[in-house]
Structure 1
């Protein structure tokens, strides 16, 4: 059994993971962390990892970007592997993760969905053949409570495309004005916020008289919880290092 400390326990994703683990004997949540203290049956919830007394094998984090730096420091002190699923992280936190990964196993993905990460593989395969003749645009949709825009997943998809482009794309966040040139060297990334949409990402390859669309729709948050648990199972067997869905899918 894999013993988990769940960061962001009282959040939407924390509750999804808690429900999923309750029906899976492979995992046990021994403690939670959240700015809102108080028990979330059947485990206690603390204000920080430094307060946690229970023994664990791994930390899973679905919290808020501002809390991650302290969590990383505490995780390193306890020598615990950590799965970071929080989005909207600044560059300084990403650099901190990579530095800490020299001493503990760290897993990070801007999206824990297995489907999104297979989509990335598909995008990297087709982009080199289309880049010179197709404009590339992206539309992402999320619920009205999402704080960051564009989504971390949209940037993850855009970066995966740019990684294989001969001419690197300039990201253009929305289009406004009457004199836009709409250059092929640009990639438009457009954010929609409304209702309870869990997440939808569409990549458009628009050529002369033809259009290719690759789309991923999240129908529930369960897909992210499932990916995080798979990442935790993978990480507890790894040596110190910085890991992503690329390593998990190739394992």
Structure 2
């Protein structure tokens, strides 16, 4: 049985994640077809390796797509969300640093389209998130500290992943504290420490390649497209819980 590749719009195509998404999608044309790549500024080339490029202000003119994958900046988030709502298309977003009103708009959009926002698209981090919640529930009264390390160009701190892990700890009854390091070209490292009297537990995830996030986002896009409207989670989509 022949199936058509998923039509993907990549928003934030000039960034590190956008470039990884383009490269990985190009390596599996039977699974993903990038119908448009959107950059913040006017692109130097209008077509690169068969993919049409658009500036952020040209979103209205992009061709039809099944799902948008957004790794941009907070100022670019609102237009791509509006586009997905207008066209009734799914949205996968990993843009961090969103304001409260943008989070509210995302939740409102979920009444119309399937949406997934995640601070981290690694399968390993999805497992770590589950373990942190379980550990916090099993260790009442223990101190919980989250130390995250990223490359020097990352702007937000604590990282979105650290905050998500802290929320999971909170659901388990712990109150997380945060520390952030920015050094070199670190892709991403998160250490969640639970400390009690005379003992401590450390849960660690280290990413050595940005491809794990891009691959996870494309997998999530495949699972999200065509689903009913609603807020979905990385954990739920990957492990069949949504």
TM-score scaled by length of structure 1: 0.88
Report what 2:169 is aligned to. Answer: 161
Which of structures 1 and 2 has the bigger CA Rg? 1
Give the aligned length.
231
After TM superposition, give the deviation of residue 220 of structure 1 in Å: 0.8
Alignment of 1:226-237 (within 5 A): 226-237=215-226
Report what 1:13 is aligned to. Answer: 17
SS where residue 149 of structure 1 aligns?
coil
Task: Judge conservation of contact 1:141–1:200 (CA < 8 Å) in 2.
Answer: yes
Task: Judge conservation of contact 1:69–1:93 (CA < 8 Å) in 2.
Answer: yes
* Distance in 1, Cα, partners of 2:92 & 2:62: 19
* Distance in 1, Cα, partners of 2:135 & 2:16: 35
From 65, 70, 78, give the equivalent of 2:74: 65
After TM superposition, give the deviation of residue 246 of structure 1 in Å: 2.8
From 8, 12, 27, give the equivalent of 1:4: 8
From 34, 40, 43, give the equivalent of 2:39: 34
Task: Judge conservation of contact 2:9–2:34 (CA < 8 Å) in 1.
Answer: yes
- 1:127–1:3 distance in 2 versus 1, CA, 3 Å: same
After TM superposition, give the deviation of residue 158 of structure 1 in Å: 0.3
After TM superposition, give the deviation of residue 65 of structure 1 in Å: 1.2
Report what 1:139 is aligned to. Answer: 147
After TM superposition, give the deviation of residue 91 of structure 1 in Å: 1.5
From 84, 90, 100, give the equivalent of 2:99: 90
Structure 2: tracts of 5 or more residues without a match: none
Question: Aligned-pair RMSD on alpha carbons?
Answer: 1.3
* Distance in 2, Cα, partners of 1:143 & 1:53: 32
Report what 1:176 is aligned to. Answer: none
* Distance in 2, Cα, partners of 1:53 & 1:122: 41
From 187, 191, 194, give the equivalent of 1:205: 194
Structure 1: tracts of 5 or more residues without a match: 170-186
